[in-house]
A and B are shown apart, each in its own frame.
Chain A
Amino acid sequence: MNGPIDVDVSRVRGQLWTVADASRMVAARRISPVELVEAYLARIAVVDPRLNSYVTVLAERARAQARCAEHDIAAGRWKGPLHGIPFGVKDNYHVAGVRTTGGSRLMLDHIADQTATVIEKLEAQGAILLGKMNTWEYGTGTGEIYEDLPFPLARNAWNLAHFTGGSSTGVGTGVAAGTAMFGLGSDTGGSIRLPAAATGVAGMKATYGLVSRAGCLPNCWSLDVTGPLTWTVEDSAIVLEGIAGYDPRDPQSASVPVGSYRRGIGASIKGLCVGVVRDFGPMAPALATAVATNLERAERALRDGGATLVELTLPATLEAYRHVTSVINWGESLSIHETDFMERRHLMGRALRDKMASGFALRAVDFLAATRMRRQLAVATDAVVRTCDAVLMPCTFSTAPPFADQEKLVAFTMHAATSILNVSGHPALSVATGFDAAGLPTSAQVVGRYFDEATVYRVAKVIEDALSERSRRPTL
């Protein structure tokens, strides 16, 4: 039945939707994209002055797109599960005609003349961009807070005195708080999964090359991955289906078929082999009690679901993986920002300036040693991952620390098991596993074989259903 949809924003205001639920409602014409967008804009107006999840809200652009979506859907032209769904992006994705800051004073007046491929894809499917979300400068940071960036710090929706994880700082907390139904971030050493872990959302770093990075500010070309942060595992699969695929604009884009990532959602895991990694070397910190307890509960959930769990050992320590990513990142990042470092470094925040100075002192042979080691580690890690259908390991070793504790902020960021999968390129999802005694989310990481994101989602969904309390939302 075609025709106008009744618009009554009060019906949806205050509701926090999943993409899957909202999509069903939109398709059935029980809610309209205009209602959804107005509800999210209202939510942003109420909570974002405290949360700082957005750098730029594109209210009028979103309203115009919502009216178009409503018109199309009313005319029987529903485009699929993302039609009419409001989302946000880290402010390192370009949108033509809109400011891209990268969280940097270097770019405060930069109006983009191109749109990121993944945003073009989402908008072609009818998704509605609400705005650009907070980020560390050019995705750079160790966790230490210097208060020297141009926008106020994003704050954790579960406790505003706590860290959001970085560098996609606004995206994780925005999805948790309901200022975006889903968001896109980018991940060089953990910058999707760390905010996801800190704020209890699902953060997917897909296989390197599966999702286009064209039209996004680079941080480190050979490690950068773009991807979704969502409230649920199913939502992540829906969004990944919408953005994955070969892009000739991205030189590292993989020419592989895009799978149906939702196909395993809700399917049995009986008979699957899931590896478990516990040992990250002598320099890795111990897991916080709640993180460890909930990781054990995740293992139990997988066993109860019929999976066989086996112990796995990675080919190197966490420290060895991190050294490789650090050296590659220092070198590539300085190459990206060299002119700005030489001429305008006074505009950079300390974290970015430190990274530039690190690249400045880096020897070419050390950089090449790191990339040679990267290839070997990727092959060796893949040999381990391939012995199972999926792998379970920690994501962060603690819950989100308070802003006041600089040492813990750095430990949360630098001693996470995330960079391993940037080195190897495997898909890795941060999935919520519950909460600690203070009400802060805990997380685990599910890793898959190259381009087998469907199995990652299948396994993560079992953990989510058993542990992650998706009905529990931050109170703001």
Chain B
Amino acid sequence: MDRTTWTRDEMAAFAAAHGLADASPEEIERMATLAAKVTDVGARIPRMPAKDHEPANTFKVPQ
């Protein structure tokens, strides 16, 4: 599957499943366009080579 392609129907279903059942067709169209870009950029972030590489925002106890 091409990860960067969202059809309008896919986006409408995804939006509805996550609480946006009232989105207009224009909104769905725009969301699908943006989702393709988001998916593309997300896929371009290199994955860290080691499982113990922690995210930048790892929790620290208050000092």
Chain A contacts to B: CB under 8 angstroms: 222, 251, 255, 320, 323-324, 326-327, 330, 342, 354, 357-358, 360-363, 366-376, 378
User: When A323-B44, A360-B31, A369-B48 are in contact, do A376 and B53 touch as well, CB less than 8 Å?
Assistant: yes
Determine which residue in A251, A357, A367, A375 has the highest number of CB atoms from chain B within 10 A of its CB, and name it. A357
A327, B45: Cα distance in complex, Å: 9
- Digit string of B18-58 for contact with A (CB within 8 Å is 1, else 0)? 11100000010011001101110111111110000111110
Q: A358 — which chain B residues lie within 8 A by C-beta?
A: 34-35, 37-38
Q: How far is the CB of B24 from chain A (nearest CB, A)?
A: 10
Q: How far is the CB of A453 from chain B (nearest CB, A)?
A: 22
Main secondary structure of the interface of A (DSSP, over half): helix
B42 adjacent to A369 (CB under 8 Å) = yes
Q: How far is the CB of A266 from chain B (nearest CB, A)?
A: 37
Q: How far is the CB of A354 from chain B (nearest CB, A)?
A: 6
User: When A327-B42, A342-B19, A366-B45 are in contact, do A375 and B31 touch as well, CB less than 8 Å?
Assistant: no
A354 adjacent to B54 (CB under 8 Å) = no
Q: How far is the CB of B42 from chain A (nearest CB, A)?
A: 3
Which of B18, B30, B48 sits near A373, CB closer than 8 Å?
B48
Number of interface residues of B (CB under 8 A): 29
A363 adjacent to B34 (CB under 8 Å) = no
30 pairs, CB–CB < 8 Å, chain A vs chain B: A320-B46, A323-B44, A327-B41, A327-B42, A327-B45, A330-B38, A342-B20, A354-B34, A357-B27, A358-B34, A360-B18, A360-B31, A360-B35, A361-B6, A361-B14, A361-B38, A362-B38, A363-B39, A366-B38, A366-B41, A366-B43, A366-B45, A368-B55, A369-B46, A371-B55, A371-B57, A372-B53, A372-B56, A374-B55, A378-B56
B56 adjacent to A371 (CB under 8 Å) = yes
B55 adjacent to A361 (CB under 8 Å) = no
A375 adjacent to B63 (CB under 8 Å) = no
Q: How far is the CB of A265 from chain B (nearest CB, A)?
A: 33
A375 adjacent to B38 (CB under 8 Å) = no
Determine which residue in B20, B54, B56 has the highest number of CB atoms from chain A within 10 A of its CB, and name it. B56
A326 adjacent to B41 (CB under 8 Å) = yes
A361 adjacent to B35 (CB under 8 Å) = yes
Q: A354 — which chain B residues lie within 8 A by C-beta?
A: 30, 34
Q: How far is the CB of B5 from chain A (nearest CB, A)?
A: 12
A222, B55: Cα distance in complex, Å: 12
Q: How far is the CB of B7 from chain A (nearest CB, A)?
A: 13
A374, B55: Cα distance in complex, Å: 8
Q: B27 — which chain A residues lie within 8 A by C-beta?
A: 357
A326, B40: Cα distance in complex, Å: 12
Q: A371 — which chain B residues lie within 8 A by C-beta?
A: 55-57
A403, B19: Cα distance in complex, Å: 37
Q: How far is the CB of B13 from chain A (nearest CB, A)?
A: 13
A324 adjacent to B31 (CB under 8 Å) = no
A363 adjacent to B42 (CB under 8 Å) = yes
Q: A326 — which chain B residues lie within 8 A by C-beta?
A: 41
A357 adjacent to B48 (CB under 8 Å) = no
Besides the known contacts A372-B48, A372-B55, 7 further A-B residue pairs in the complex with CB atoms under 8 A apart: A323-B41, A326-B41, A361-B6, A366-B38, A366-B42, A369-B42, A373-B46
A376, B45: Cα distance in complex, Å: 12
User: When A222-B56, A222-B57, A358-B37 are in contact, do A373 and B15 touch as well, CB less than 8 Å?
Assistant: no
Which of A255, A323, A357 sits near B31, CB closer than 8 Å?
A357
Q: A372 — which chain B residues lie within 8 A by C-beta?
A: 48, 53-56
Q: How far is the CB of B35 from chain A (nearest CB, A)?
A: 4
A368, B55: Cα distance in complex, Å: 6
Q: How far is the CB of B58 from chain A (nearest CB, A)?
A: 8
A320, B46: Cα distance in complex, Å: 9
Q: Identify the closest chain A residue to B44 (Cβ).
A: A323
Q: B18 — which chain A residues lie within 8 A by C-beta?
A: 360
Q: How far is the CB of B47 from chain A (nearest CB, A)?
A: 6
User: When A371-B56, A372-B53, A372-B54 are in contact, do A357 and B43 touch as well, CB less than 8 Å?
Assistant: no
Q: How far is the CB of A241 from chain B (nearest CB, A)?
A: 25
